[in-house]
Amino acid sequence: MRKFLLVGGLALFVIALLSGSTAVAADNWVGTWTLDVAKSKLSGSPMPKSLTLKYVATPEGIKFSGSGVDAEAKPMETEFVSKFDGKEVPYKGNPNADTASPKKIDDGSFENTWKKDGKPTITARGVVSKDGKTFTISQKGKNAKGDVVEGTLVFNMK
């Protein structure tokens, strides 16, 4: 009987573990992406000189981090952790937002609403290409200064 319980418990653990891995693997934006400045367009805000985005699956949700060099050659770092369920989470390091509300649309896309001091600023929509090599983020809204921001940032899988 003990052997049956042990084997049954182990089997349930493996099924739960594999189910969780499958759900995370379906989020095609998980990985490391580098900005292709030549293919990207941005108005209302200066284009960064470089930007790398990382989406990593963790037990708490997907950890997003962005690091790079802004248009004035200053380092920039941003991050949040979300289950991509549309709930607000703290967004560190973003001058245009203190919260983010990323929501998965399907395995290859999500929408993320940024807020600063409780007011919506920018909506970003991320879409991974069918071949999984390109990640495009379209942004629209107003920055923290009230200037209109609109653009498309193109990233390549690293």
Domain with residue 84: its CATH number is 2.40.128.20
Q: Is 14 a domain residue?
A: no
Average pLDDT over residues 91-114: 97
Q: Is 15 a domain residue?
A: no
Contact 127, 109 (CB under 8 A): yes
Q: Is 67 a domain residue?
A: yes
Instruction: Evaluate if residue 9 carries a pLDDT over 90.
Output: no
| Span 121-135, pLDDT tens digits | 999 999 999 999 999
Q: Is 48 a domain residue?
A: yes
Q: Is 94 a domain residue?
A: yes
Would you state the structure tokens that stand for residue 22, as one six-digit string? 């499958």
DSSP collapsed to 3 states, the chain: CHHHHHHHHHHHHHHHHHHHHHHHHCCCCCEEEEECHHHCEEECCCCCCEEEEEEEEECCEEEEEEEEECCCCCEEEEEEEECCECCCEECECCCCCCEEEEEEEECCEEEEEEEECCEEEEEEEEEECCCCCEEEEEEEEECCCCCEEEEEEEEEEC
Instruction: Identify the residue with better confidence: 120 or 4.
Output: 120
pLDDT, residue 58, reads 97
86: left (phi over 0), alpha (psi -120 to 50) or beta: left
Domain housing 54: 28-157
Alpha-carbon distance of 49 to 38, in angstroms, equals 10
pLDDT, residue 117, reads 96
Q: Is 97 a domain residue?
A: yes
Q: Is 73 a domain residue?
A: yes
pLDDT, residue 26, reads 73
Contact 115, 102 (CB under 8 A): no
pLDDT, residue 12, reads 36
CB neighbour burial string for 20-30, b if at least 16 within 10 angstroms, e if fewer: eeeeeeebbbb
The number of domains in the chain is: 1
Which residues 6+ apart lie within 8 Å of 141 measured at CB? 114, 120, 121, 122, 123, 148, 149, 150
Q: Is 44 a domain residue?
A: yes
Q: What pTM does this model have?
A: 0.83
Average pLDDT over residues 84-106: 97
Average pLDDT over residues 21-30: 66
70 confidence band (pLDDT: 50, 70, 90)? very high
Mean pLDDT, the chain, rounded, equals 88
